[in-house]
Amino acid sequence: MKNFEAKAYMDDFSLITIVAKKPFSIVPSFGLLQTDGIVHSLTILKQENYNQQYIYKCKSPIQLNLGRDYWIKINEKQIPLQIGSIVRTNQFDSLFFDDGHLGAHYTPDSTVFRVWSPVAVEMKIMYKGFGESDVSEAIMERTEKGVWHFTLKGDRHLTEYIYRAKINHEWVEAPDPYARSVTINGERSVVVDLKKTDPDQWQRSEKRMNLRSKTDSIIYELHIRDFTIHPESGVRNKGKYIGMTERGTKTSKGNITGLDYLTSLGITHVQLMPVADFGSVDETKPDTQYNWGYDPVHFFAPEGSYATDPNDPALRIKELKTLIRTIQDNGLSVILDVVFNHVYKLEESSFEKLVPGYYFRYDGGGNPVNGTGVGNDTASERKMVRKFIIDALLYWLNEYKVDGFRFDLMGIHDVETMNIAAQKLKSLNPGIFLLGEGWDLNTNLEPEKRATLSSAKVLPDYSFFNDSFRDSVKGSIFIDGTAGFINGNQEHSVKDQILRSINGYAGKNDKFLSAKQSINYTECHDNHTLYDLLKIRHPYENESQRKKRQQLALAFTLFSRGVPFIHSGQEFYRTKYGVENSYNMPDRINAFNWHDCEKHKNDIKYFQELIKIRNEQPVFRHEAGRINLLHELPEGAFGVEINHSLTDKKGKCSNWQNVLLLFNQSLKALEIPIHGSWKIAVENEKCAVRNLNSNTYLIHPLSFSLLFV
């Protein structure tokens, strides 16, 4: 048998594919062998040679039954029949979709375990008390929809468990895909009494800002470990969830850090990079490894390396809840960065172990497609994958009371799933903030079904990272790519893109329904920081000139229509020392450098003042309105006039009515013709109102000015 190189797959309920590496010496005779010894002859429908393999498509005379073992007899030999592409058929999806509760449902009296695996012939649950060595085993019962269930009596808080399934004639062990928490490094699932993980007075905070629209938001992206790990952070629990909850932290020179710094900026939303359990950091020694966390393993359980004790399955939940509540109690909202587009390792995932071939997309040759670039793409269009994603989102919303989700590589997902998710999430929290990366990736899904930027108008509840904004302002993310405006590009096409950027790329003939769908950014965790990119692009400029270019980018981000997005540290020229992709680099590369923050106090003050202007003046936060390009400007200058009218309850106009945004990308001062009476609010990186008593305005080199009436 070991030398008999052939495999057989169940590809439909009556279709079997036999693949041999060598031709048969005699004309093959194929039969289907049941466990009771009955053999059914198979009819060969098609024979072909492909990629040095001999493939036979055969029809079974009986309907194949998932949940039973079969063998294929080939002449005098036999091989096990394995699960093939049957799990990717519409019939499979229809027959076995189950909308019920999955995972471990805890009560003080009992815990009900439910796991979906229609292809399993048998299923057992292996369980033990937390930290104990004696393991018990129980046989689970199967429902018509392929859900296996078992009830364990008594209070099972912190019971460890794992599923043991017989699939493809072999026994495999897998943690629960729906596990609310896990043991260290996610080896086993853990039952949790979630009430015991609630911080004191745990309910949705009422202290966050009441925002009229997404365009009232300013998002600030940060990494849990980065933000407090630096020696100068003054934080006791460095790199941990609760490190970000500490108040009164300061550098050795007495400057504020941590949460106090965060709340001083004027931002509205904190976007946390992945906090769901990921596989690229050994939780037994978290201080020796680093990762951004885009390697998901357990989608419902928090990452243990950010907990003060990763051995405690309940503590990681409580500490993350405490962080979220603390941020909210300080007036900010929390967005979670979620990664549903792939898993860390396909072969080791519970998805693949429990229902092999179902949760992922495959090409015509049966190989996993790789649009994500990390080896696998999840198939959100399949019913139980869609259910899983939505169940996870609803769990994080209900249990952790978060305020929004950022979807990593959202273009991998399908439009229908994303719209259903939005509908369900908004029914619970109408103000939830949903955003994602709408990149069009080479996955096995029809382009029109992908949740990409080109589908923005059929995804009205989602905002998208606007790469057109990014590229028009700073240029390509690639070193040898096209330069953007702040890097000296004066081409008409770039100016046209800049105008569209300031208008939020919104309108009938543009990419978004309104400006609230545009996430305006020039820097995020991916690629070079803007400071590092400018250093590469302008190696002969002095530090002051490069910083002025970065301030230009900041002004575009804050005063264009849409949602400003700031990468943590961008306000003080964060560097990663030239490293383009720092996803697994050590703390010395990734740490939020509080010494640099301290060094640039004046720049941070300017950043805070710009945010204050945006927050106070509705003209910058409206989703629509007239924007006029200023013509006849000298080379190197760009400017627009924004017309705005807002009346109060008495019918009187309030706030700024008209605004001029002026940008100078050149290394010399430029004279700008001005018509009418204006006041200057921002010039040369200073915010102070003064009257302009002239019909011309001299704008400083590499600078931004803001005028208003």
Given 381, 408, 598, 603, which residue is catalytic?
A: 408
Residue 51 in tokens: 């990629």
Tell me the residue type at 709. V
Is 437 a known active-site residue?
A: yes
d(CA 296, CA 338): 9
Nearest to 525 by CA among 299, 122, 217, 224: 224
From start to end of 518-650, where are the E strands? Answer: 518-520, 563-567, 626-629, 637-643
- d(CA 482, CA 459) in angstroms, rounded, equals 30
In angstroms, how far is the first alpha carbon of the chain from the final one?
Answer: 86
**CB neighbours of 223 closer than 8 A, spacing ≥ 6?**
272, 273, 292, 293, 525, 568, 590
How many residues make up the chain in this entry?
709
SS3 1: coil
CB-facing half-sphere around the CA of 147: CA atoms within 13 A: 17
- C-alpha–C-alpha distance, residues 307 and 401, integer Å: 19
Torsion of CA 196, 197, 203, 205, to 10 degrees: 160
Instruction: Identify residue 284 by its one-letter amino acid code.
Output: T
322 near 242, Cβ under 8 Å? yes
Q: Which amino acid is at 201?
A: Q
What's the Rg (C-alpha) of the chain? 29
Active-site option among 216, 437, 603, 623: 437
Q: Could you tell me which of 522, 516, 524 has the C-alpha nearest to residue 562? A: 516
In 3-state terms, what secondary structure has residue 51?
coil
**469: CB partners within 8 A, 6+ apart:** 501, 505, 518, 520, 521, 522, 556, 560, 562
CA 137 – CA 151 distance, rounded (Å): 12
Beta sheet of 686-692, edge-to-edge order: 626-629, 637-643, 658-664, 703-708, 678-683, 686-692
What one-character-per-residue DSSP string does 470-517 give?
HHHHTB-SSTTS-B-GGGT---HHHHHHHHHHHTTTBSTTSSBSSGGG
SS (H, E, C) 667-703: CCCEEEECCCCEEEEEECCEEEEEEECCCEEEECCCE
By the 8 A CB rule, do 424 and 389 touch?
no
CA dist 28 and 44 (Å) reads 10
Confirm whether 408 is a catalytic residue.
Answer: yes
Buried b (16+ CB within 10 A) or exposed e, 100-120: eebbbebeeeebebbbbbbbb
Catalytic center residues: 408, 437
